[in-house]
Amino acid sequence: MIQRQTRLVLRLLWALPCSAVGALLGLLVVFLGGSLGRADHTIEFALAHSHALVPDWAARFRFAGITFGHVIVGQSHEDLAAGQMSLSWQSLRRGSDQANTSMSGGAHGCC
């Protein structure tokens, strides 16, 4: 049990620099009227709850969400939930080393 908690803390610390970048971008999303949520060990920031409510300027981006460490910034919580499903499937196919993958756009990135 202690080893499991230690591994969790180490993973969180390892991703902390990228998570900090994501948190800053997430605060900008909240400032623009978005909201935040939590899924497992990640914090999700989104501009809207459903894709239909995403502002036009944000809908022009070629991706629905992007991961920064343990923070996910996206257009809508609906898109992020759909991305979780495809991201889980990708993790099963490719292995869990693909930590920084954007969702629904095909672009990949790391901070």
- Residue 55: name the closest of 72, 38, 42, 74 by CA: 74
Q: What are 103's two structure tokens?
A: 């969702």
CB-based burial label for 66 (10 Å; 0-12, 13-18, 19+): buried
Beta strands per DSSP E along 1-111: 35-39, 42-48, 65-68, 71-76
H-helix segments, 32-97:
56-59, 77-94
- Does pLDDT of 99 surpass 60? no
Whole-number Å distance between alpha carbons of 105 and 65:
8
Per-residue pLDDT at 26: 94
**pLDDT per position as a tens digit, 68-86:** 998 999 888 888 887 665 5
Per-residue pLDDT at 11: 85
What is the mean predicted confidence (pLDDT) over 3-30?
A: 91
- Does pLDDT of 106 surpass 60? no
- Does pLDDT of 103 surpass 70? no
- Does pLDDT of 63 surpass 50? yes
Can you give the pTM of this predicted structure? 0.68
Position with higher pLDDT, 72 vs 97: 72
